[in-house]
A and B are shown apart, each in its own frame.
Chain A
Amino acid sequence: MTLSLLAVQVAEQAPGAELGPATQLAWLTIALPLLGFVLNGLISMVRPQARRLVSLVGPGVLLAAFAVAAAIFLEARAHSPETPIILTLWPWLHAGDLRIDLALQIDQLSILMLLVVTGVGSLIHIYSVGYMGEDPGYARYFAYLNLFVAFMLVLVLGANFPVLFIGWEGVGLCSYLLIGFWFTDKANADAGKKAFLANRVGDFGFLIAMFLLWQTVGALDFGTVFHRAPEALTTTAATWITIFLLLGCAGKSAQIPLYVWLPDAMAGPTPVSALIHAATMVTAGVYLVARTGVLFALAPATGLLTAGIGALTALFAATIGLRQYDIKKVLAYSTISQLGYMFLAVGVGAYATGLFHLVTHAFFKALLFLGSGSVIYALHHAYHTTHSHEDAQDMRNMGGLKQWLPVTCGLMWIATLAIAGVPPFSGFFSKDEILAATFARGAEQPVYYLFYAMGALAAFLTAVYMARLMAMTFHGENRTGAAEQEHLHEAPAVMTAPLIVLALLSLFGGAINLPHFVGGNAALERWLEPVTHPATAMHPLSMPTGLTEEVLIGGAVLIAALGLWVGFRTALGQPILPAREAPPETGFARVLYRKYYVDEIYDALFVKPLVWLSDKVLWRVVDQALVDGLLVNGGVVGSRWLGALGSRIQSGQLGLYVLLFLVGAIWVLDTILR
């Protein structure tokens, strides 16, 4: 095998720290899913019906990668290296001063991401075995899924910006492939395209940031850049670099103004939504901001911008979530809103807190998506059996499902309580910390109090729309239809088992970073200390203590409880009609249902002018008139005209020839002799 020939050189190593065998094999975590991609890809071309083999390979490679990741974590915990371990696989781009190696960086942050991606990824792969079991593109699906995980791991393990960018682009590609997985339906293919294009806008920002970094700092690997940045970068330069980085992050993490692709991305299979659009890819932006925390600490203006965008996105998306009827759309806007929280946290400078929310969100949002997948699966089966064409994702067609899906209902309630921020569920700790950190920053700049208020309001709305989702789906009267009701049943064990694991994680996930007031020691924050310290030291944050802290916590719990109560009561307070009978929305509810018309506005602002420009200017004027008319046809007319002129000279009159010859000869002689 060529893989075993890879010589792993250790460029930098913490003095005294032993490099464990698992850490040396870190490349396996990427190679295994990649191998899965190759195998599944081959199977999909040669024997697509070999489902059993695919079911073995697809989740198998992920579980193996998770095992390696866990071993790396245990080794790192035993040695707790202060400096990152760089594993150089091979030299990649060496030109002049530019030295880019294909190198992996093992530090506390990448290990955390490694565990989340492979861990949650494994569960979603197992779930997919049940959910996608009857799909004709089963092998192709797992090939894409494996490739996605491989790229995501390149992203989190890369030791320099270009390697990170490989993963960054790779997950974008896989997300395109997976969103448009059922590409025979044009809407799905369009959704994939939209995601890809919105991400490209962000990628452009990432590239510019890299160019600027190379120009100002003269290096692209994380260690050198962060070491040199404080001296090499002026505040202006750091601000520009971080603004462009932020543009990249906003694209990948679906923040204003580039969030529009994520709701449409729900066109993909539900486990894909759980994996890509909740747990892994969309967190890449948060990861990047945390990774480049030093640069953001050098540019306070961008930190403010990041926090502002995060707070605004959290609130904005939460309001849209209030009036969506597609169960996955609610969760999509919820995801955007929660990503806004993470941006708020990293913008404030509380990197560990942002990452904490990233982890807990990965747990409960994956659970919510997979739970909604079970619901859709049940409804789809019921409608399929009765040959009905109703929408299996519309919550107006659900209601009272707890009678048929008791396990899913119970598990989703756990996730709902977690996302709403009810103690002691995981989301409570992470969300509360974000709000507390924002509040603490308010002492320096009062505008952060506004961000805090927006975040608190968004937390209230989160509780409302989640309670509404649960009420419309599982409680009240059933609206699926009398004939369909007898075909509703709970999902198979291969789907509920991952849900149970995720529910346990959602329930106890807060334990990884228990705050001091409940007797914890902020384990995650201390674990991430070596990575986040250079940034937090530059711009320290003093968290609220004592009475302030208690009031903030009490307020957060009150908000969550009130939100749940309001959401539940309003959703069940009035009769809900099935989708086909429901009247159209009116007033502000319509504005929310149509998502503030943002898609229409973008269409009018960007798409329409672009189409107009392409049609009227680029096609009609530039292509048809200039290229075809002037250059191509003009060349023909011109040479014909020249030919006519030439043939006019060729009169057959010898005298004229001689005259021309003479004039030519005199001209030549004149030129030579002069």
Chain B
Amino acid sequence: MLLGPALGLSAILFTIGVAGVLLRRNAIVLFMCVELMLNAVNLAFVALAQVYGVGAYLIAFFVMTVAAAEAAVGLAIILAVFRHHQSIDLQNINLLHG
């Protein structure tokens, strides 16, 4: 019952998210791509619930909770970075350079 197309969509969304994280420099876009990946995984969980039962729904809710918390923390970090650097271009933020 649409398990294949649902998992395919999930994979496409996840790949878009990964590509975005890897290629884009804007922190906000990056953040959105991470959210996209989380939601792609969530979609996969929900689709797989047809096979594995309600346990998968449960995990989907966990992921949502984590995503919400991450959004709050992540946006706060981006805000703080912007205040410090006057930019959210990650190319300029390389303090971890070894």
Contact = CB atoms under 8 A, between A and B. Distances in A.
A complexed with B: yes
Contacts of B98: 646-652
A96 interface: no
B90 A651 contact: no
A4 interface: no
Contact of B21 (A650, A653, A655): A655
Contacts of B93: 652, 654
A652 B25 CA distance: 13
A651 B94 CA distance: 7
Contacts of B30: 654
Interface string B6-37: 00000000000010011101000010000000
B37 to A, nearest CB: 11
B21 A652 contact: no
B95 interface: yes
B18 A650 contact: no
A652 B22 contact: no
A655 B22 contact: yes
B90 A654 contact: yes
A649 B95 CA distance: 14
A582 interface: no
A243 B75 CA distance: 90
B22 A659 contact: yes
B97 A651 contact: yes
Interface residues of B, number: 14
B96 interface: yes
B94 A653 contact: yes
Interface in A629-670: 646-655, 658-659, 662
B18 to A, nearest CB: 6
Contacts of A654: 30, 90, 93
The SS class assigned to the A binding surface is helix
Contact of A658 (B21, B25, B91, B97): B21
A646 B90 CA distance: 21
Contacts of B21: 655, 658
Contacts of A651: 94, 97-98
A57 to B, nearest CB: 76
Contacts of A652: 93-98
B94 A658 contact: no
B97 A662 contact: no
A653 B94 CA distance: 6
A538 to B, nearest CB: 83
Q: How large is the interface on A (under 10, 10 to 19, 20 to 34, 35 or more residues)?
A: 10 to 19
A647 B97 CA distance: 8
B84 to A, nearest CB: 15
A650 B96 contact: yes
Interface in B61-93: 90-91, 93
Nearest to A661: B21
Contacts of B91: 653
Nearest to A650: B98
A236 B4 CA distance: 83
Contacts of A655: 21-23, 25, 90
A646 B97 CA distance: 11
B90 A662 contact: no
Interface in A518-566: none
A653 B21 CA distance: 12
B41 to A, nearest CB: 13
B27 to A, nearest CB: 9
A662 B18 CA distance: 9
A391 B97 CA distance: 82
Contacts of B97: 650-652
Interface in A35-52: none
Contacts of A648: 98
A332 B95 CA distance: 85
Nearest to B90: A654
B93 to A, nearest CB: 8
Contacts of B90: 653-655
A651 B22 CA distance: 14
Nearest to A646: B98
Nearest to B21: A658
A648 B30 CA distance: 24
- Identify which of B21, B95, B98 gathers the most chain A CB atoms within 10 Å of its CB: B98
A143 B23 CA distance: 89
A300 B94 CA distance: 88
Contacts of A662: 18, 22
Contacts of B95: 652
Interface string A612-638: 000000000000000000000000000
B44 to A, nearest CB: 14
Contacts of B18: 662
Nearest to B94: A652
Nearest to A658: B21
A648 B95 CA distance: 14
4 A-B pairs with the lowest CB-CB distances in the bound complex, closest first:
A652-B94, A650-B98, A652-B97, A647-B98
Given A647-B98, A655-B21, A659-B22, 11 more contacts: A646-B98, A649-B98, A650-B96, A652-B94, A652-B95, A652-B97, A653-B91, A654-B30, A654-B93, A655-B22, A658-B22
25 contacts: A646-B98, A647-B98, A648-B98, A649-B98, A650-B96, A650-B97, A651-B98, A652-B93, A652-B94, A652-B96, A652-B97, A653-B90, A653-B91, A654-B30, A654-B90, A654-B93, A655-B21, A655-B22, A655-B25, A655-B90, A658-B21, A658-B22, A659-B22, A662-B18, A662-B22
